[in-house]
Amino acid sequence: MTLDSSTLERYRLKLRYKVSYHLGSSCPDVDDIVQEAMLRFVHALQSEKIRNPESMAAFLSGICNNVIYEYKRRLHREPLCDQDPSSLEIPAGLGADLVELRQVIGLVMNQLAPREREILRAFFLEERDRSEICRTMGLSVMQFRVVLFRAKEKFREIYRLSLKRNAAKQH
């Protein structure tokens, strides 16, 4: 079973509204959550896991609820910052200097897979247009969103580990 792109886009917009309602419109991860829900939905469509095609919207809504709950659980497991005010300071290993920050970002980028590094560099550092990136990398818009989402997650994970290591070296 397949859906046309206008139906998928309509579903995506409705999911964006739903996620914004549940997490707040200022949540920085709204688009990532919508993307993950759409990815799971498309995968379920392709693997024919939807038993009742008439209730496709309800199925997608359930997937979205699961992704939102997973996001909230992850936030509670990994708080954005520690409650200790002294830990809010930038570790001396990183320094507040822009040059040192660029070095850390460069080190983290070097630990990523080449495809992840290329898409993050093109989108965030070079500020290239999505359509241009898709064309040069041979990706569809859906694939671009998935690769970008996963690359950002991987970058965050590596960056957090480097912060923890630098903080541990200081103590």
Q: Do 92 and 71 belong together in one domain? A: no
Q: Do 9 and 71 belong together in one domain? A: yes
Domain that holds residue 58: 5-77
Q: Do 105 and 43 belong together in one domain? A: no
Among 77, 98, 125, identify where a domain stops.
77
Q: Give the integer Cα–Cα distance in Å for 128 and 132.
A: 7
Q: What is the CA radius of gyration of the chain?
A: 19
Q: Do 97 and 139 belong together in one domain? A: yes
Judged against a pLDDT cut of 80, whether residue 35 lies above it is answered with yes
Q: Do 92 and 128 belong together in one domain? A: yes
* Mean of pLDDT values over 19-45: 87
| CA distance to 1, 51, 61, per residue, from 47 (Å) | 9, 11, 18
Considering its fold, how many domains does the chain have in total? 2
Q: Do 69 and 122 belong together in one domain? A: no
Percent of the chain with pLDDT over 70: 85
Q: What is the pTM of this model?
A: 0.47
Q: Is 126 helix (H, G, I), strand (E, B) or coil?
A: coil
Q: Is 40 helix (H, G, I), strand (E, B) or coil?
A: helix
Task: State the virtual CA torsion across 92, 94, 97, 100 in degrees, nearest 10.
Answer: 140
